[in-house]
Chains A and B, each alone.
Chain A
Amino acid sequence: GAVVSQHPSRVICKSGTSVKIECRSLDFQATTMFWYRQFPKQSLMLMATSNEGSKATYEQGVEKDKFLINHASLTLSTLTVTSAHPEDSSFYICSVERSSYNEQFFGPGTRLTVL
C-alpha cells in the first residue's frame, strides 16, 4: 500500500485566521492527491483534486479562494483554509491513489475546530 501522513492531526484556531494542513505521501510519488471533508457522522465529501505542478480541480460548491491547494512536489500537497469560520470546523482527510491498483490510501485526517 501507500503510507500517507497528515499534519497537524488536530488544530484549534480563532475565527478569521488561516490554517495550513499538510498531506505527505511517504513511500509513493503521487501526481494526484485528493482532499475530502467529513462532517460528524457523515460521508466523505470530495473538495478538490490536487495535481502536482498544476492548478487543483475543485468540486462544485467549493470556494477556490477559501480552500487554497498547493501541490508543489510529488510527495506533498497542502490545503490552506483561509479566514476560517466556525462552519469550517470539520475533519479534513487527504488521500493518494495508486493508479495500478486503483484503491485510495487515506491520511489519518486533521480535525479542525474554529472558535
Chain B
Amino acid sequence: GQQVMQIPQYQHVQEGEDFTTYCNSSTTLSNIQWYKQRPGGHPVFLIQLVKSGEVKKQKRLTFQFGEAKKNSSLHITATQTTDVGTYFCAASGNTPLVFGKGTRLSVIA
C-alpha cells in the first residue's frame, strides 16, 4: 500500500530558530495534508496541497508540494513555544488517509 516517510522523527530547536519537516513517497500523490497534534491532544488539520509545485503560507508556516508530487515539506520560521507538538503529513490518493510517522518538535525557550 501507499506509504509516506517523514523525517526527522524528532527536532529540538531554540525559540526563534527555524524548523522543517519533510514527507516523501515512492509513488505520486493525489494530494497531501498536514496535521498538528499538540501533546495530549488530537490531530488538527492545517492544510491540503493538491497542485504540483504548490506553495502555501499560513503566517510563519510554509507548505510546499514537490513538482513530481512525491514529496512535501513544512517549514516554520522563527519557532515559538506554541509551535510545540507533532506534525504529521498524510497522503490521500484514495480514502482513507495514510499518515506519516510524524515529526515531534520541541522548542526550548
CB of A54 closer than 8 Å to a CB of B: no
Given contacts A42-B101, A43-B100, A43-B102, contact A103 B95 (CB under 8 A): no
Is there contact, CB below 8 Å, between B92 and A102?
Answer: yes
**What 0/1 readout, one digit per residue, does chain A (75-115) give for beta carbons within 8 Å of chain B?**
00000000000000000010101000111111111000000
A43-B100, A44-B99 known; A102 vs B48 contact (CB < 8 Å): yes
Tell me whether A44 and B43 are in contact (CB under 8 A): yes
Question: In the assembled complex, which residues on chain B have CB atoms less than 8 Å from the CB atom of A46?
Answer: 96-99
Given A44-B43, A93-B42, A104 and B102 contact (CB-CB distance below 8 Å): no
Are A109's CB and B42's CB within 8 A?
Answer: yes
Interface residue tally on B, bucketed by range: 20 to 34
Residues of B within 8 A of A25 (CB): none
B88 within 8 A of A: yes
CB contacts (< 8 Å) of B43 on chain A: these are: 44, 93, 95, 104, 106
**Can you list 29 pairs linking A and B with CB atoms under 8 Å apart?**
A32-B95, A41-B104, A42-B101, A43-B99, A44-B43, A44-B88, A44-B99, A46-B96, A46-B97, A46-B98, A46-B99, A49-B96, A97-B95, A97-B96, A101-B48, A102-B31, A102-B33, A102-B48, A103-B33, A103-B48, A104-B33, A104-B90, A105-B45, A106-B42, A106-B44, A107-B42, A108-B41, A108-B42, A109-B41
Residues of B within 8 A of A (CB): 31, 33, 41-45, 48, 88, 90, 92, 95-102, 104
